[in-house]
A and B are shown apart, each in its own frame.
Chain A
Amino acid sequence: MNPTFRKFFVPFVAIVIFLALWEGLVWVMGWPNYKMASPSDLIPAYQRYWDLFLIMGWQTLWRTVVGLIVAIIVGTAIGMIMGFSRTMRDALYPLLVGFNAIPKATVVPIVALMFVGAHDFNTILIAFMISFFPIAVSVSIGLSTLEPEYRDILRSLGASQTTIFWKIALPKTLPEFFGALKVAVTLAFIGTNLMEIVSPHGRGLGALFDSGKTNSDYPLMFAVLIALAALGIVLYYVVVWLERTFAGWAERESH
């Protein structure tokens, strides 16, 4: 099989099989759609609310992406501080772990009260808070595990710390960074939706989910879940593409 063809064909077939199994399961068990909607129930839901899906989907997407960008900037900065200074690593690690251990669902009402009415800001803030941790940890590990020989090779030539960072430390950390970014993408979606669902303000796919719940429109709720999954897949593959572009060297050719 042609490799490009396989790359698109195999996942496509997998999705079709998954949908068929889902449809079959609901049909065999005879579940009503308020217990478990089937893929065929979703099509009318999408048809009826198509414009809402587009608008809400976009709201969820841009706030997730902005939250993620903030997480990358702040996470990388914290990672650099911890990667280069042992003292800062010892100082910040317990704080970070503690912060990460707090379930973000409990933070949502606090944030919502703290910045009443600033819905976009609140949502971005939660998306950021939930997703920066893996980035900070991976960057700090990448930098602190740099073998001393790499540093020595450049230092013996009189290179400055900045040169060592740009020429060696940064590129060497990229594979770990992208690994963490893949985790962060999914987390950021959870953050955005948490805010949209727990503190509803009529925006985003989370709000659409909530209105499905209020109106007992179960197929709509399932349709929102699938839309979220689709957005997640799109964003994930954007990260994969970035990784290939900037850290493609780390990929071993498969034999």
Chain B
Amino acid sequence: MSPLIDIKGVKHAYSTADGPLPVLDGLDVTVEEGGFCAVVGPSGCGKSTLTRLVAGLMMPDEGEVWLHGEQVKGPRSTVGMAFQNPVLLEWRTILQNVLLPLEIVPNALKGKAAEDRARFLLSLVGLEGFEDKRPSELSGGMRQRASLCRALVHQPDVLILDEPFGALDAFTREDLWQTMHDVKAKEPFTAILITHDLRESIFLGDQVVVLSGRPARTQYVMNIPRSDKPTLDDLYTSEAADRLAILRQQIEIAQGRTEAEVEG
């Protein structure tokens, strides 16, 4: 079976006043259907560029991005996106916000069926009873939950998560990690998650990709066997500690320190 997301040898540079600024240099990422790929790397290494490539919002200079056996050549309605900033529309209710993609995607659910689906997703993330509230009446964590529902409402092939939990406090963030697993159990999706949080990457991902410093290439890939019922306790095992230690070391290498320095 061909993988759902296949990023092959992608190179990309932004043009700046001082000439081209390479951000990606030989990126390879493969995610199977139903997989959850967490991407970590030093700040400014081009992780967000990666999400824009997968979403079809920009084209790479070199290399190819394949989604579901089709090469990505432009925006496609089969992705769902969530960012660090939940970007909910303040003039709409939570329910209307979740329904937004269905107003744009062709052949989407309409009317009652659309509303039922949105209500179902909102109940999955624990926002039952908040459907008619405005975003300004919700806390940051709740807004992010609503943003997640909006990303999932049109049943996208790929969920693109660009540091969606980055601006939340630690407890809210861990709550949302658990929510992600609960949602995935009932509403399976394939996801690519950009994050700065190593614990988040090993708790959510079944694959963790470490990118090198800019220009980024795939530096290290860790596969993580998924337990049937993940809980936060999984983070406090010796396996988890070992994985975190390896990832930390990889990040330090990515930040440009030599292996000798790291070990010393």
Q: A-side interface residues toward B, CB under 8 Å?
A: 147, 149-150, 152-159, 163, 167-168, 171-172, 174, 247, 249-250, 252
Rounded to whole angstroms, the CA-CA distance of A149 and B154 in the bound complex is 18
Would B81 and A156 count as touching, CB distance under 8 A? yes
Q: B79-104 vs A: 1/0 string, CB under 8 Å?
A: 10101010101110000000011011
Closest CB-CB distance, A152 to chain B, in whole Å? 6
Q: A158-B77, A158-B105 known; 14 other A-B pairs, CB under 8 Å? A: A152-B57, A152-B81, A153-B100, A154-B104, A155-B75, A156-B55, A157-B101, A157-B105, A158-B76, A163-B104, A168-B89, A171-B91, A172-B89, A252-B136
Rounded to whole angstroms, the CA-CA distance of A150 and B82 in the bound complex is 10
* A158 in contact with B100 given A152-B55, A152-B57, A168-B89 (CB within 8 Å): no
Q: B-side interface residues toward A, CB under 8 Å?
A: 52, 55-57, 74-77, 79, 81, 83, 85, 87, 89-91, 100-101, 103-106, 134, 136, 150, 154, 160
Interchain Cβ contacts within 8 Å, total number: 64
- Which residue on chain B has the smallest CB distance to residue A174? B91
* A155 in contact with B105 given A147-B85, A147-B87, A249-B90 (CB within 8 Å): no
Contact residue among A147, A152, A167, A171 (Cβ-Cβ distance under 8 Å from B100): A167
Rounded to whole angstroms, the CA-CA distance of A150 and B85 in the bound complex is 10
Would you call the interface of chain A mostly helix, strand, loop, or mixed? helix
Would A155 and B90 count as touching, CB distance under 8 A? no
Would A153 and B81 count as touching, CB distance under 8 A? yes
Closest CB-CB distance, A130 to chain B, in whole Å? 31
Q: Which residues of B contact A174 (CB under 8 A)?
A: 91
Would B77 and A157 count as touching, CB distance under 8 A? yes
Q: Which residues of A contact B75 (CB under 8 A)?
A: 155-158
Q: List 28 A-B contacts (CB under 8 A).
A: A147-B85, A149-B83, A149-B85, A152-B55, A152-B83, A153-B81, A153-B100, A153-B150, A154-B100, A156-B56, A156-B57, A156-B75, A156-B76, A156-B79, A156-B81, A157-B75, A157-B104, A157-B105, A157-B154, A158-B75, A158-B77, A158-B106, A159-B104, A171-B89, A172-B90, A249-B90, A249-B91, A249-B136
* A153 in contact with B87 given A158-B75, A158-B105 (CB within 8 Å): yes
Rounded to whole angstroms, the CA-CA distance of A153 and B164 in the bound complex is 13
Q: Which residues of A contact B56 (CB under 8 A)?
A: 156
Most buried by B among A153, A174, A247: A153
Would A247 and B81 count as touching, CB distance under 8 A? no
Rounded to whole angstroms, the CA-CA distance of A163 and B150 in the bound complex is 17
- 10 tightest A-B CB contacts, nearest first: A249-B91, A156-B55, A149-B87, A157-B104, A149-B83, A159-B104, A157-B77, A158-B75, A158-B77, A171-B91
Would B87 and A150 count as touching, CB distance under 8 A? yes
Rounded to whole angstroms, the CA-CA distance of A17 and B77 in the bound complex is 62
- Which residue on chain A has the smallest CB distance to residue B91? A249
- Which residue on chain A has the smallest CB distance to residue B162? A149
Closest CB-CB distance, A77 to chain B, in whole Å? 23
Q: Which residues of A contact B150 (CB under 8 A)?
A: 153
Closest CB-CB distance, A119 to chain B, in whole Å? 42
Would A250 and B87 count as touching, CB distance under 8 A? no
Rounded to whole angstroms, the CA-CA distance of A150 and B101 in the bound complex is 12
- Which residue on chain B has the smallest CB distance to residue A249? B91
Q: Which residues of A contact B87 (CB under 8 A)?
A: 147, 149-150, 153
Closest CB-CB distance, A172 to chain B, in whole Å? 8
Closest CB-CB distance, B161 to chain A, in whole Å? 13
Q: Which residues of B contact A147 (CB under 8 A)?
A: 85, 87
Rounded to whole angstroms, the CA-CA distance of A152 and B76 in the bound complex is 12
Contact residue among A150, A158, A167 (Cβ-Cβ distance under 8 Å from B103): A167
Q: Which residues of A contact B77 (CB under 8 A)?
A: 157-158
Q: Which residues of B contact A252 (CB under 8 A)?
A: 136
